[in-house]
Chains A and B, each alone.
Chain A
Amino acid sequence: MLSSLGSGGGKTAKPSFVSYVTPEEIKSEKEPYKKENQPDLLPGEVVFCSACPVLKYSQDDMSQRGVFGTLLCTNFRVSFVSDEVQVEETCKLFKNKLYGENDIPLACVDNIYGGYEDKKKLITGGLLKNKYPSKIIVHCKDLRVFQFSLTYSKEEDAKKLCFTGVLDHNNVVMKTYLRSSSIDNNAVCFVEMQRKERTMLFDCLEDWTQDMKRTKGNCRLVTENSSFELSQKLPQFFIVPLNVTDEDLVKFQGNGLPMWCWSHHSGCALFKTASLPLMLTAVAHNHLYSVKTEDLSDTLPTIQDIQLSYNKFKQFFLIDNTTEFWMSDMKWFSSLENCGWLDMIRQCLLKAVEVVECLEKENTNVLIMEESGSDLCCVISSLVQLMLDPHYRTLLGFQSLVQKEWVAGGHAFLDRSNQLHLKEKVESQSPVFLLFLECVWQLHQQHGPAFQFSETYLTVLSDSVHVPVFATFLFNNDSHRANVLRAESPSSQRGPLNCPSVWDWSVQFDCRAQDLFTNPLYAQKTKQDRSQRKSHRPKHQRQLSLPSSAFKTPTKKGFFKDEADSLKKILGVKRISRWMLSPSSDFPPMSSIKEFYETWQAKPLDYHGMLLPCLDGPSIRVWMQRYLRWIHDVQILGGGPVAVLSKVSELLAEVQELRSELDRHARTVTSNHRGAIRTRAKTAPENLARSSVRLSSSFPFVTSRNWSFKPAIPTSMLQSLMMSEVAGDLASREDDGSEPETVV
């Protein structure tokens, strides 16, 4: 249950940041700042520079009204502090504890543009030498757009701000901050970890053992790398096929090792590997089932493609002004198609469905591979597990999945997000993890009740990648993480550095806000369901209880002879892997996938069984909450998904209430308490319904309170259009053709 996350440990984890800024740097900061013009700094956060007064344009207004205030740059964020007294009551519900609505964590800054007269230019170091812009526009990675006018502030201040603060964020500042950031270890960050139900971090033996046990996998747990003796790239712990020997581990130095991801109840399993599949035979040997291999780079986009596509895609939502927005509205569909982002999502989901088909229908082992073994392999393997294993659709299960496949799996979060804005790392920057979350969102919107977590949870998670505080997203792999955290500790008088995990949501949100992470529509498995399932699958239960040796000689797939030499096996493997882009394959894979989907679709939907996404054109959508939440003109006031969710939450609360009442009654009846009858307590549950008419489609990220209840009327209704071709003469025709039509 989610509430355990937030309510855990009475005392909330107060992050504290230790500064390692050199004395000179600090000295230069010693200029007196007016106290009231500072944000509430986090411990260890240091203000580098500021400019005042700065005019912040309010985004929601066409008339370019703004608010005066101070713009500051610290080692954690760019912050705007308004001169106007903030009305305190403005929606505390979904407040992020680390940064406010006018704060931009430095890692969240995407691009900064300078406004020169009426031109907008991307600011680079060189450009600024000559003149500083009168206006700066900040595009954030969470898709917020800020516009600040510097015309009213002292030129000196503004210049300094631009140079040291906002601009140099791409090297010095960020580096200092990142190296110095630390969360006080004494805080109760990991109290929740003690609980029975927890997010498995896969940083210890037990987690791996437990997950293998849960899926009834039968593989070998490798502990030889616990201090990275085998390889820096490999995780501390991992699982390989049984018959991978110690010599193999040493010989290949971890290259091409098939790493176990997940075991299907039929006994076959999913593996992933980096670079060439040198150990292919090992997997083939594993259960003596056939194995299908798939080189993901054959069909899926490269990480550079992903980055390029996303760069185009995000531009549709980084809107500077209303006119621009409505102009782009006209060619919305074709622009969307041209950037190819939705198609990449579709391709990933399709690939995952293909793997699912192999595991589920053909019960063959699958080995996915790519050069790094930690980008698209992570996307596909985690999607496959989400589709097949309902455990990963719970909140804790999903977090464990991300830990297993992405964090322990060695996805290079630091390089891919390039939080340090390093020039030399630009090429390795790519939103691979976001692509995965997009795919999850597609599954979520198609099969909502199958997921315990909400859309809001996914959106928040996608934002958290750019908050440079969490150990989860700060490193490239296990050894990197271990090295950095260990290296920092001696120089500090405190204990070892201990960045919190992003899963410790109390670092960012209070309990009430965390309630929004659960999906009220989640169809939780009832006891009834569980017993039904058992009776439904007696066969599997029996199979699973058998030692794997019992089906080492599979009857129907017995074409692999025991004594077959490994060469033959490799050939055999190649022959049956129908994805190998061989045009000679007997049947086109697409038709098989289609059939697989249709067969599944024809059966009644079981939210705790296998889930497949519909991939047809209209089914792949834009993640509205994430991308449209900050754009005023598309907020549906009084509508949007929250209208449904609040209604459902309300009903759920009533059901809950009735249940507890029933319990009370049951107790009363059995214990025969005298006079303990209660009239139905009509406690109005804390719900959103009362105010749902006032909420908007960007709930909970933006409150509509500040906005006028006026509809957004398209400003450019001029028909770009249209009617140029065939319809040309139709447009000028009269509605009621007075001329007699020839009867055909």
Chain B
Amino acid sequence: CVHLNRNTFKTWVCPSLSYLWPTVGYSDQWDDLNKRFSPPLTAKDVTYICPYIGALRGTLTVTNYRLFFKCTDREPVFVLDLPLGVVSRVEKIGGASSRGEVSYGLVCKDIRNLRFAHKQMEDSLRKSIFEVLMKFAFPVSNGLPIFAFEYGQVYPENGWKVYDAQAEYKRQGLPNESWRITKVNDHYELCDTYPSTLVVPVNISDEELKRVAAFRAKGRIPVLSWIHPESQATVTRCSQPMVGVNGKRSKDDEKYLQAIMDANAQSHKLFIFDARPSVNAAANKMKGGGYESEDAYQNAELVFLDIHNIHVMRESLRKLKEVVYPNIEESHWLSNLESTHWLEHIKLILAGALRIADKVESGKTSVVVHCSDGWDRTAQLTSLAMLMLDGHYRTIRGFQVLLEKEWLSFGHRFQLRIGHGDKNHTDADRSPVFLQFIDCVWQMTRQFPAAFEFNEYFLVTTLDHLYSCLFGTFLCNSEQQRVKEVRAKTVSLWAYINSQLEEFTNPLYVNYSNHVLFPVVSMRHLELWVGYYIRWNPRMRPQEPVHQRYKELLAKRAELQKRVEELQREVTNRSASSERAGSPTRSITPVQTFV
């Protein structure tokens, strides 16, 4: 790993950082850094205006990775520690106040805003710490590298090896007599936003694939995401067909979809799920896009799933933030929540995935899923449907594979949607598409508390590092962009997670992998994810009494087991010393279900 630009690296070690900085060999590293680099930028007498506690006076430190505020006046010591990656914008609020203070507001991507104030600099040439912060918070806009490229932590596992496309397809039983793995996109020539490894119907040649690519937006042809181990019904994903106002047709595309249908002997039908509302799908014709007409595609049934676009979702999250941060208006909480439509969107996405899973599982029918480009709503739908259908994706490593496959390799544009290190916070390409997906996963874990190997903390951690820029996992927009630099020079989030799996494991997990999970997509069962959206409110501290209690019981069991074994050994020794007689008797004791 290359250590670049470390001159502003912080020099203190704070115990609270262990969350982001695992203790494995880190103290040595810090000592080393202390000697080599100059101290970080620190400002004293800064006031943090906490919406819950009030004004706190303390020391503010800014490094190239984080903002760190510490107030030692109170008991316990107040610490605020946030990666600069979560900062969406920094703004100066008003002018200098009567007390000669300037105030700064930090709008964060993780549903909070921070407000600081400090004395006006007497020397007008000296810059405020916040102006310096702007530089490191938005490295991309300032020509600096993203911190992930400088992060030098070594983990026992190489997280980049978690996902191997060939291995994953092999797990699914591919290639088989109907599906083949093609090398046509090895150098991202067919489609630069697709992965290099693609699974396509056996009887479609690479040449034909190229002609299909011409008819699909951005060349994103239908390819296999998942195949049902028994019925051979498949989930395939793609982008919209380039139908246009004149209703253009492509014989190759029609043949291709027929081939997908034929690959599944169980059904003589194919369902095409268009994630968009039909109005939007129709409007796309004006721009050359559109949807499959049922005349052109025999035996195919088109279903619109009514999921709105990235702009609607962004606006919904903005409203949600207003409702939950910093305080909740108790008397109108529910109607306020409803007015954000956030859960309504979650419901539509889950309902869409449910319909897909139902068609594949109950109807044994293959499905094709697309939206406009096939990298936002499509990713949400295929990955959620796969989570419902395949228990493997509900394990920790399986879930990592699911993200690597459906989101990262298939080109969900993380860089654009999150805007890593980019100061342009009004960018219309930003949207909480991935957050929505994780929210949907959380909703499923609520409904099936024993079906997922990972816990809530795993999901929150994943989202935290979506923004933190500590790991390379969520950088860039496509596999092609990532494969060059990122893999070589950054650490994967999975390296960090998999090196301390205990933290992220759901103690209640029951491996019933063969079971299909159909969540209930009624508002009655959907709830706002308090542990994520309202976690900054100290009154809403997440509680997992069940997990806690369960872990206690596990510990108790382990302790008792140990004692039983010890006693057994003792008894064995004694009886061995005396004469041997009798055979072990079995007895069945009445078991009470409570202690």
Q: Which of B279, B373, B549 has its CB near the most chain A CB atoms (within 10 A)?
A: B549
**Cross-chain contact B584 with A735 (CB below 8 angstroms):** no
Q: For chain B residues 514-533, which have a beta carbon within 8 Å of chain A?
A: 515, 517-525, 527-528, 530
Known: A656-B591, A656-B595. A639 touches B578 (CB 8 A): no
Contact indicator A648/B549 (Cβ below 8 Å):
yes
Q: For chain A, residues 710 to 744, give those with C-beta under 8 angstroms from any C-beta of chain B.
A: 710-714, 717, 719, 721-723, 726-727, 730-737, 741, 743-744
Report the stretch among B55-63, B161-169, B348-356 that lies at the interface: B348-356
Q: How far is the CB of B217 from chain A (nearest CB, A)?
A: 10
CB of A420, distance to nearest CB on chain B (Å): 33
Asked if B310 lies at the interface with its beta carbon under 8 angstroms from chain A, I say yes
B538 and A598 contacting across the interface, CB-CB below 8 Å: yes
The distance in angstroms between the C-alpha atoms of A737 and B511, with both chains bound, is: 44
CB-based nearest B residue for A519:
B594
Residues on A with beta carbons closer than 8 Å to the beta carbon of B574:
669, 672
The answer to whether the Cβ of B448 comes within 8 Å of any Cβ in the partner chain is yes
CB-CB under 8 A from B314, the residues of chain A are 730
Given known A619-B540, A643-B451, A647-B550, contact A681–B334 (CB-CB < 8 A): no
A565 within 8 A of B: no
Residue of A nearest to B424 (CB): A743
Residues of B in contact (CB 8 Å), total 112
Residues 517 to 561 of chain A near chain B (Cβ within 8 Å): 518, 520-524
Contacting residue for A692 out of B316, B450, B521, CB 8 A: B450
- Cβ of B593 < 8 Å from any Cβ of A? yes
Say whether, besides A618-B540, A643-B449, A733-B311, A633 and B512 are in contact (CB < 8 Å).
no
Write out the residue numbers on chain B whose beta carbons fall within 8 Å of the beta carbon of A26.
Answer: none
> Do A681 and B587 touch across chains, with their CB atoms under 8 A apart?
yes
Q: Taking the complex as formed, is A635 at the interface, i.e. its CB lies under 8 A from any CB of chain B?
A: yes
Q: Which of A654-670 contact B (CB under 8 A)?
A: 654-662, 665-666, 668-669
A669 touching B564, Cβ below 8 Å: no
Q: Map CB proximity to A onto B223-245 as digits: 1 under 8 Å, 0 otherwise.
A: 00000000000000000000000
Q: Which of A524, A644, A735 contacts B595 (CB 8 A)?
A: A524
Neighbouring B residues of A644 by C-beta, 8 Å: 449-450, 508, 546
- Which residue on chain A has the smallest CB distance to residue B89? A744
Q: Contact check: which of B306, B545, B568, B575 meets A675 at CB < 8 Å?
A: B575
- Of B78-86, B199-207, B464-472, B554-562, which stretch is located at the interface? B554-562
With A638-B451, A652-B553, A658-B557 known to touch, is A744 a contact of B589 (CB < 8 Å)?
no
| Complex interface: chain A residues within 8 A of B541 (CB) | 601
Q: What is the 8 Å Cβ interface bit string for chain A, positions 315-340, against chain B (1 contact, 0 not)? A: 00000000001100111111011100
Q: How far does the Cβ of B488 sit from chain A's closest Cβ, in whole Å?
A: 29
Contact B308 A731 (CB under 8 A): yes
Question: Is there a chain A Cβ closer than 8 Å to B35's Cβ?
Answer: no
Q: Select from chain B the residue with minimum beta-carbon distance to A742.
A: B426
B331 proximal to A (CB < 8 A): yes
The answer for the CA separation of A641 and B449 in the assembled complex, in Å, is 7
In the complex, the answer to whether A618 meets B315 with C-beta atoms within 8 Å is no
Nearest CB of chain A from residue B516's CB, rounded to whole Å: 8
B450 touches A643 (CB 8 A): yes
- From B101-109, B336-344, B454-462, the one touching the partner chain is B336-344
Residue B172 lies at the interface, judged by CB distance under 8 Å to chain A: no
Q: In the bound complex, how far is the Cα of B449 from the Cα of A723, in angstroms?
A: 34
Q: Which residue of A lies closest to B588 (CB)?
A: A683
Would you call A404 an interface residue if the criterion is a C-beta within 8 Å of the partner chain's C-beta atoms?
no
**CA of A597 to CA of B524 in the docked complex: distance in angstroms?**
29
State how many residues of chain A have any CB contact under 8 Å with chain B: 114
Closest chain A residue, CB of each to CB of B539: A616
With A333-B335, A337-B335, A639-B449 in contact, do A601 and B539 touch (Cβ < 8 Å)?
A: yes
Q: How far is it, in angstroms, between the C-alpha of A693 and the C-alpha of B450 when the chains are bound?
A: 10
Q: Which of B347, B540, B549 contacts A449 (CB 8 A)?
A: B549
Residues in chain B near residue A683, CB distance under 8 A: 588-589, 591
**A679 touches B (CB below 8 Å):** yes
Out of B334, B347, B362, B595, name the residue touching A617 (CB < 8 Å).
B334
Q: Is the CB of B373 within 8 A of A598?
A: no
A interface footprint on B247-289 (CB within 8 Å = 1, 0 otherwise):
0000000000000000000000000000001011001100100
- Cβ of A687 under 8 Å from chain B: yes
Check if A193 is an interface residue, CB within 8 A of chain B: no
Among candidates B328, B520, B570, residue contacting A634 with C-beta atoms closer than 8 Å: B520
Which chain B residues border A665 with CB–CB below 8 Å? 564, 567-568, 571
Decide: A674 and B581 in contact? CB cutoff 8 A: yes
B426 neighbours in A (Cβ, 8 Å): 741, 743-744
Do A648 and B524 form a contact, CB below 8 Å, given A618-B530, A653-B593, A677-B571?
Answer: no
CA distance A616 to B337 in the complex (A): 13
Tell me if A102 counts as interface (CB < 8 A to partner B): no
Known: A652-B553, A676-B582, A730-B309. A714 touches B522 (CB 8 A): yes
A660 to B592, CA, bound (A): 11
B429 an interface residue at 8 Å Cβ cutoff? yes
Is A247 an interface position by the 8 A CB rule?
Answer: no
B319–chain A nearest beta-carbon distance, Å: 9
Whether A651 contacts B545 in the complex (CB less than 8 A), given A337-B333, A619-B540, A669-B567, comes out as no
Smallest beta-carbon distance A645→chain B, Å: 9
Report the minimum CB–CB distance from A690 to chain B (whole Å). Answer: 10
Distance between A146 CB and nearest chain B CB, rounded to angstroms:
21
Within 8 A of B (CB), among A422-453: 446-449
In whole angstroms, what is the CA distance A685 to B528 when docked?
37
CA distance A641 to B450 in the complex (A): 9
- Residue contact A332 to B534, C-beta cutoff 8 Å: no
Cβ contacts under 8 Å, A693 to chain B: 510, 512, 515
Residues of chain A within 8 A (CB-CB) of B584 are 677-679
Task: Name the contact of A737 in the complex, choosing from B332, B429, B447, B557 (C-beta under 8 A).
Answer: B429
Cα–Cα distance between A666 and B564 once the two chains are bound (Å) = 9
Closest to A718 in B: B306
A211 at the interface (CB under 8 A from B): no
Name the residue on B nearest A654 (C-beta).
B557
Q: How far is the CA of A666 from the CA of B575 in the complex (A)?
A: 14
The residues of A that contact B449 with a CB separation of less than 8 Å are 639, 641, 643-644
Smallest CB separation, A292 vs chain B (Å): 24
Min CB–CB distance B385 → chain A (angstroms)? 12
| B372 is an interface residue with CB less than 8 A from chain A | yes
> A617 — which chain B residues lie within 8 A by C-beta?
328-330, 333-334, 337
Q: Does B153 contact A (CB under 8 A)?
A: no
Q: CB within 8 A of A727: which of B315, B428, B586, B591? A: B315
Q: Is the CB of A333 within 8 A of B330?
A: no
The residues of B that contact A597 with a CB separation of less than 8 Å are 539
A496 on the interface (CB 8 Å rule)? no
**What residues on A are CB-neighbors of B376 within 8 Å?**
735
Is A515 part of the binding interface, using a Cβ–Cβ cutoff of 8 Å?
yes
A649 within 8 A of B: yes
Binding site for B on A (CB under 8 A): 1-3, 325-326, 329-334, 336-338, 342-343, 346, 446-449, 515, 518, 520-524, 594, 597-598, 601, 605, 614-619, 621-622, 624, 628, 633-641, 643-644, 647-649, 651-662, 665-666, 668-669, 672, 674-681, 683, 685-687, 689, 692-693, 697, 709-714, 717, 719, 721-723, 726-727, 730-737, 741, 743-744
9 smallest CB-CB distances across A and B, nearest first, come from: A617-B333, A675-B582, A711-B518, A658-B560, A337-B334, A332-B523, A730-B311, A639-B448, A333-B338
